[in-house]
Amino acid sequence: MKRTLIILAALVALGAALTLPYLGAGRFVIVLLTQLAIMVTFAMSYNVNLGQTGLLSFGHAVYLGAGVFSSLYLITAIGAGHVALPLEMVPLGGAFAGFTLAAILGLVSVRRAGVIFAMISLGLAELAVAAAMLFPSVFGGEQGVSTDRMVDFSLTGLGYGRPQEIYMLVLVWAVISVAAMVYLSRTPLGRLANAVRDNPQRVEYLGYAPYWIRYIQFCIAGTFAGLAGSLFALTYEIANASVLGIHMSANVLIATYLGGITYVLGPVVGALMVTLLEINLSRLTEAWLFYYGLLFIAIILFAPRGITGLLVDAPGAFRRAGISGMVTTLARWVPVVGLIGGGTVILVELCYHVSNSFDPREPLTLFWTPVSAQNWAPWITGAVMMVAGLGLFALNRRNAAPRRPQTGDAS
């Protein structure tokens, strides 16, 4: 039943994504959907390492960057007539670049899992950024490398100058990539990767080499990361060394955890949330990265299986508790979330306004109300809301904790 609902939801989402460009969607919506498709592909490739194989990487953006820069040069070569390749096939070049780099670096990286692998991946990421800055003739330095995707050679005859055209190209490749990664997760290799993640000693006892299983999975993840980088290059037509950096790697790590690493399609949900937060929340406040981090911490602490886990568990929780139980639960926890969230927003916005605004004496708008950071009232209001919310949280936790039966004295 759950699988049927997931398939139906995926088909509905795909149908909506395919029809939106023809329903008069604006340029902003098309760009948002294009960015979402790229992020979904990138996050799914990351989960091949983390969720399926147990390899926590802090440098997955290196393979995205390999696809980005190789595709930028490949598009330029196609436009100049040096390479006879349709523009639609450029993502294959990015995938090959990601695979090649992963095949080289994976020989050393996946010898160990856990903390050792994470530290190696972080070191390789910093090394890649340093190398990119040392070779500005290749990576373009701070200005980056640019290209023009409007070439003469394409299978469809489209020029791919309009956002709707490049969106459809990116969407097709994203759907193919996601479908391939979902299929691979259900093959014997995918099951062995899960076994290596959970108990590598037992896998080795059964006659399989955990190193080679990790290595193959690592190469697959690098391949699809490179393909995502190629979609990035086709969309933005410019990139610099920042695409290799820790920010991109942290972004995909957060997206994957938010969605849920234990679910194959969890990164899709996480990518949707991260993309919406980056584009919309950054337009509302300068402190969006701070809220971004708070959300990540909250998910790790209170929903370790991610948002997908909450969505999957919601129907069962509703059946067990019933309407009255759900109403009681909401009545207990909605005020807690509202007080802690509201108090946090007030205090954070006040701090950012005092430290970053051109004139701290000017009023700022909090919850559609102009307030002055020079007045103590909003500071006290935010602090009182925080304390009250934390107090209610502690009270609810104490009431929800199972009570130990009291045992009397046998004598």
343 in a structural domain: yes
**What was the pLDDT predicted at 408?**
52
**What was the pLDDT predicted at 49?**
94
In which domain, by residue range, is 161 found? 2-304
DSSP 230-299: HHHHHHHSEE-GGGGSHHHHHHHHHHHHHH-TTSTTHHHHHHHHHHHIIIIIHHH-TTHHHHHHHHHHHH
**What was the pLDDT predicted at 222?**
96
**What was the pLDDT predicted at 409?**
47
Show which of 272, 304, 336 is a domain's final residue.
304
Q: Examine the domain organization and report whether 346 and 214 are in the same domain.
A: no
Domain count within the chain: 2
Neighbouring CB atoms inside 10 A of 294's CB total 14
Residue 28 CA to residue 34 CA, distance in Å, equals 10
248 in a structural domain: yes
Q: Examine the domain organization and report whether 249 and 336 are in the same domain.
A: no
**What was the pLDDT predicted at 383?**
94
Show which of 263, 289, 304 is a domain's final residue.
304
Q: Residue 3: which of 264, 350, 270 has the closest Cα?
A: 264
**What was the pLDDT predicted at 366?**
84
Q: Examine the domain organization and report whether 184 and 271 are in the same domain.
A: yes
Q: Examine the domain organization and report whether 154 and 285 are in the same domain.
A: yes
Record the tokens describing residue 127, joined without a space.
């090394």
**What was the pLDDT predicted at 2?**
57
342 in a structural domain: yes
405 in a structural domain: no
Burial class (CB in 10 A: 0-12, 13-18, 19+), 301: exposed
Show which of 304, 322, 343 is a domain's final residue.
304
Q: Examine the domain organization and report whether 273 and 319 are in the same domain.
A: no
**What was the pLDDT predicted at 410?**
45
Q: Examine the domain organization and report whether 140 and 228 are in the same domain.
A: yes
Q: Examine the domain organization and report whether 314 and 174 are in the same domain.
A: no
Q: Examine the domain organization and report whether 176 and 59 are in the same domain.
A: yes
Q: Examine the domain organization and report whether 317 and 291 are in the same domain.
A: no
Tell me which residues of the chain have a pLDDT lower than 50.
409-411
Residue 71 CA to residue 93 CA, distance in Å, equals 6
Phi-psi region for residue 144, left (φ > 0), alpha (ψ -120 to 50) or beta?
left
317 in a structural domain: yes
Residue 236 CA to residue 64 CA, distance in Å, equals 14
Record the tokens describing residue 210, joined without a space.
């955990």
> pTM for the full model?
0.87
Per-residue burial over 364-380, b = 16 or more CB atoms within 10 Å of its CB, e = otherwise: bebeeeebebeeeebbe
* Cβ atoms 224, 41 nearer than 8 A: yes
Residue 391 CA to residue 339 CA, distance in Å, equals 10
Q: Examine the domain organization and report whether 46 and 172 are in the same domain.
A: yes
410 in a structural domain: no
240 in a structural domain: yes
Q: Examine the domain organization and report whether 292 and 318 are in the same domain.
A: no
Helix axes 210-236, 27-53, angle to 10 degrees: 170
170 in a structural domain: yes
Q: Examine the domain organization and report whether 154 and 70 are in the same domain.
A: yes
Residue 175 CA to residue 11 CA, distance in Å, equals 11
Amino acid at residue number 206: L
